[in-house]
Structure 1
Amino acid sequence: MADRTAARTSGSMAVPLAAFAAGAVVAVLLGVFGRVHDPTLSGTTDLGFRTVIEMKVVLTTVIGALVVLQLLSALWLYGHLGGRPPAWLGTAHRVSGTVALLLAVFVGYSCLWALGLEVGTLHTGEAVPLRAVVHGVLGCAVFGAVVVKLVAVRARRAPGWFLPVAGGLLFTLLLVVVLTSAAWYVAARGWPGNGGY
């Protein structure tokens, strides 16, 4: 009996282990691409904003708001906020998550394509600010965490802790990326279009 329980537990661990391995590969490949790619604004769009940076600040702020809504709706759906969630909340949770993911892919592409992954020293010889290094590395990790979360949502044979851990990891990474980009920009330079540049 104990052998059967151990086998079931180790078998169920195969899904999270494979998901975390696949996520790590995605994050590393994005980081490598960001390092070897020659950054250029060619191939990016500003979506009608004055600059690509302005567009990224606004969209990243929207992503941050959607990520907070994701957390609150997940907590309510899983009974941690009290009261019965409305019937539409599950659909709203999935839609807001999809929109946040699509915006994150768009902004992440713009970051990696236009700026690359900055570590070490800039072309001026100055050290890359720690904030930029953290932002870039964790930005790549976000997309690895997306892979883990997508597997967790679809996995039927994964342990019960896998989905909340995958969701919490993605939430935390996205929040830190938002704080080291849009929130930092607004605090340092103001909201785009209001004297910010």
Structure 2
Amino acid sequence: MADSTGQKSLAVPLTAFAAGAVVAVLLGVFGKAHDPTLDGTTSLGFDTVIGMKVVLSVGIGVLVVVQLFSALWLYGKLPGRPPRWLGTAHRASGTIALLLAVFVGYHCLWALGLETGHLHNGEKVPLRTVVHGVLGCAVFGAVIVKVVAVRSRRAPGWFLQVAGGLLFTLLVVVVLTSAGWYLSEKGWPDSGGY
């Protein structure tokens, strides 16, 4: 009987990871097959779409750090009693980070596609770009896993921590391989006078 209960509870994370993997692969296939275009994108007043994505990615990075510390505090891993509003702030910052990530991810896949081979001039795509693109697709698979972990009452206790840790790690690496790299190489993007 204990084995069937363990298997039943493992079915939730296994199904979530499988669904997340399917989402990540489908996004990667779309990004690879889609002809990149700036049609249907916006720069939100920045000089370039990339400049806009850098600024929003920095915002995502800040929100992800807020998510980490608020989760640690809510789960008693930081000293002191968390304020009552922290749960609401945690959910709100997570929702905003997700909405920004969807907006930035759309612009990445639509305007740039998934670059994994050679550039138009025959040069190889830099490893940083490949890692960024592949892990960017994986972020949205991890979002699926995290949503299931938050909503499921039948999953093992470790599932939410693993799902949250996976999403946090992927988002940090994606932000560092995009906005972090851009800021270190080119500085803060121009905002077109805004």
Q: TM-score, normalised by structure 1?
A: 0.96
Q: Percent identity?
A: 76
Shift of 1:120: 1.1
Contact 2:46 2:189 in 1 (8 A): no
Is 1:152 paired with 2:149? yes
Match of 1:12 in 2: 9
Paired AA for residue 167 in structure 1: G
Q: Given the alignment, which residue of 175, 189, 192 partners 2:186?
A: 189
Deviations 1:59-115 (A, max 9, x none): 000000000000000000000001100000000000000000000000000000000
Amino acid in the other structure paired with 2:106: Y
Question: Could you tell me whether the CA contact under 8 Å between 2:24 and 2:140 is conserved in 1?
Answer: yes
Q: Distance in 2 between matches of 1:193 and 1:136?
A: 24
CA distance in 1, matches of 2:108, 2:38: 10
Cα distance, 1:143 vs structure 2: 0.1
**CA separation in 1, counterparts of 2:27 and 2:161?**
25
Aligned partner (choices 17, 25, 33) of residue 28 of structure 1: 25
How far apart, CA to CA, are the structure 1 residues paired with 2:85 and 2:134?
A: 36
2:94 aligned residue: 97
Q: Check if 1:78 corresponds to 2:57.
A: no
Runs of 4+ aligned structure 1 residues displaced above 3 Å come to none
Q: Name the CA distance, whole Å, in 2 between partners of 1:185 and 1:64.
A: 14
- Does the residue aligned with 2:68 lie in a helix, a strand or coil? helix
Deviation at 1:193, TM superposition (A): 2.3
Give 1:155 deviation, angstroms.
0.3
Deviates more, 1:48-57 or 1:158-167: 48-57
Q: CA deviation at 1:48?
A: 1.5
Residue 52 of structure 1 is matched in structure 2 by: 49
Stretches of structure 1 lacking an aligned partner (at least 5 in a row): none
The 3-state SS of whatever aligns with 1:162 is helix
CA distance in 1, matches of 2:112, 2:122: 16
The Cα of 1:34 is off from its aligned counterpart by: 0.3
Structure with greater contact order relative to length (CA < 8 Å, sep ≥ 6): 2
- Work out the CA distance in 1 between the residues paired with 2:149 and 2:3: 21
CA RMSD of aligned residues (A): 0.8
Counterpart in the other structure of 1:120: 117
Distance 1:163 1:69 in 2: 17
Query: Normalising by the residue count of structure 2, what TM-score does the alignment of the two structures yield?
Result: 0.97
